[in-house]
Amino acid sequence: GEAEISVPRDRNGTFEPKAIEKRQTRTDEVEKRVLAMYAKGMSTRDIEDHLRDIYGIDASASL
């Protein structure tokens, strides 16, 4: 899905983002972790709770 992020700008272009690299539109890392949890037998509700507790991501079970 779409996510809005606010990237600080500077004239020299020295800002280095941590979670998502420059000009990157999505992160496969979270998707890989969700698929791994699902493959291990976790329910979508458990994965939703885990993402909220660990990463602060508010994702619905249907996502």
* pTM for the whole structure: 0.48
Average pLDDT over all residues of the chain: 77
15 within 8 A of 21, measured Cβ to Cβ: no
DSSP assignment of 17-55, as one string? -SSS-TT----HHHHHHHHHHHHTT--HHHHHHHHHHHH
32-43, pLDDT tens digit by residue? Answer: 888 898 899 999
Going from N- to C-terminal start, the domains of the chain cover: 27-63
55 within 8 A of 30, measured Cβ to Cβ: yes
